[in-house]
Structure 1
């Protein structure tokens, strides 16, 4: 997964870095052109699908990655390569949440009422366990504090920062 993981992460950084605005975190991390079909459903249905193996999460990530790559190649035909996290951080979510809506306000909408982060940030999927797997995303520096506050208030362990050892494993 390492080469693909690095390329997808680089493209996510190139996409989100210049577009995301903290005061509009919910809007600027949900570009309509990248919106996967899964995210056209209501929040409860989205979560049901994300938790079903083999996982609509993988399909959603593939959709986002493909659309983002098309958009980026139009702007920069030379492509992108990984050269670090650009001050941001990688998170992982399994979407197995309690749907309390507590994270929406502290994250300024980066996490919605169903604790689903903005899809623009999604770049990789890893199949694990009995549910739909883990989706990885990148949070730009301008959203780190808001995302952290959102992660903190969710009363279940469904989303959090990827530690250095796991990131090294994923990067290969």
Structure 2
């Protein structure tokens, strides 16, 4: 009996650890009720490959936000762009900041409402695993959390290596 209890506790711990890595893990109970879907970028995105994906063109990757089991598109997230001067380093290309451009429908019932635009930006100094920011765009609220990133200092300024960036994106119904 004692061994069975220990096994059950270990199984619960494994489930909790695995569940935390799937997005939505750091949400409050109220936010969990508003959660539509969780994604990981760049894994869950589609390459733009020069044509437009939703409102975003031409390079990078875009996430198509849909409610599970629905064909209606609720919004998009573009992964990624930057504003500062990027450089090629020995380990790969790096930039001093990152911007995820966002869109969201003003009404979620049909996925055909007007579309609003927004963005979430992180400076190189803010790019650390676990850092998160949120932004309301239309009837959606995006919560972006840095999962993995490699940084380096160049000319006394933090840069991130572009190929190292992975983020979790939780999409909620806005309040």
Class of the TM-score when normalised by the shorter of the 2 chains: under 0.3
Structure with larger Rg: 2
**Structure with the larger strand share:** 2
TM-score, length-scaled by structure 2: 0.27
TM-score, length-scaled by structure 1: 0.27
Relative contact order higher in (CA < 8 Å, ≥ 6 apart): 1
**Structure with the larger helix share:** 1
